Amino acid sequence: MSEQFEPVIVGFLCNWCSYRAADLAGTARIKYAPNMRPIRVMCTARIEPQFVLKALREGADGVLIAGCHPGECHYVEGNIKALRRHTLLKQMLRQFGVEEERVQIVWASASEGRMLAEAVDRMTEQVRALGPLRWKQTVLSGNGSVELAAAGHQEEVTLPEAEEV
């Protein structure tokens, strides 16, 4: 059996559109990558940048944010606020060396189960191609790690997967 890397993607889906799109994809028996772990939020505007950063730090290889199309937000413009945050967050993550494909925002209305499924498929392949993120094990290892540092003086670890950005 080939050991294919299966990315962990945390999906934040808005209650009114994208979570229902995921429901629809399920009831319509649309087959798509099982890599996304959906979390329902009331609106994409509820997704604080802290949630995304925490997901990446705690082991997610990617984060997918899915909400209503602009103009169709249940709370009028929550998704536009989310887009503003996402745009700035993307710029900031570039400085942290996190590839753009790892954090994405997509719009999927309650009737667009297929579209959501395709977005998850597409993103899974993109993140698979990038490889695992493993923030704690790679980026925070060596003298960057609180956990290791607490145990006393640590020599720097030469990482097997040190990446240049």
Q: Which of 13, 14, 56, 66 binds another protein (CB under 8 A)?
A: 56
Q: Which of 3, 27, 31, 162 binds another protein (CB under 8 A)?
A: 162
Helices (H), the chain: 18-27, 49-57, 78-95, 113-130, 135-138, 146-149
Q: Which of 71, 100, 111, 131 binds another protein (CB under 8 A)?
A: 71
The answer to whether residue 69 forms part of the interface with another protein (CB under 8 A) is yes
- Asked if residue 14 lies in contact with residue 80, where contact means CB atoms within 8 angstroms, the answer is no
Return the structure tokens found at 44.
């994409």
Residues 102-161 that bind another protein (CB under 8 A): 107, 133, 135, 138-140, 142-144, 146, 149-150, 153, 156, 158-159
- Asked if residue 116 lies in contact with residue 22, where contact means CB atoms within 8 angstroms, the answer is yes
- Asked if residue 44 lies in contact with residue 87, where contact means CB atoms within 8 angstroms, the answer is no
SS3 for 101? helix
The CA-to-CA distance between both ends of the chain, in Å, stands at 32
The answer to whether residue 73 forms part of the interface with another protein (CB under 8 A) is yes
The answer to whether residue 16 forms part of the interface with another protein (CB under 8 A) is no
| Contacts for 161 with CB less than 8 Å, ≥ 6 apart | 131, 138
Toward another protein, which CB reaches closer, 33 or 142?
142
The answer to whether residue 100 forms part of the interface with another protein (CB under 8 A) is no
* Site for another protein, rule CB under 8 A: 48-50, 53-54, 56-57, 69-71, 73, 76-77, 80-85, 87-89, 91-92, 95-98, 107, 133, 135, 138-140, 142-144, 146, 149-150, 153, 156, 158-159, 162-165
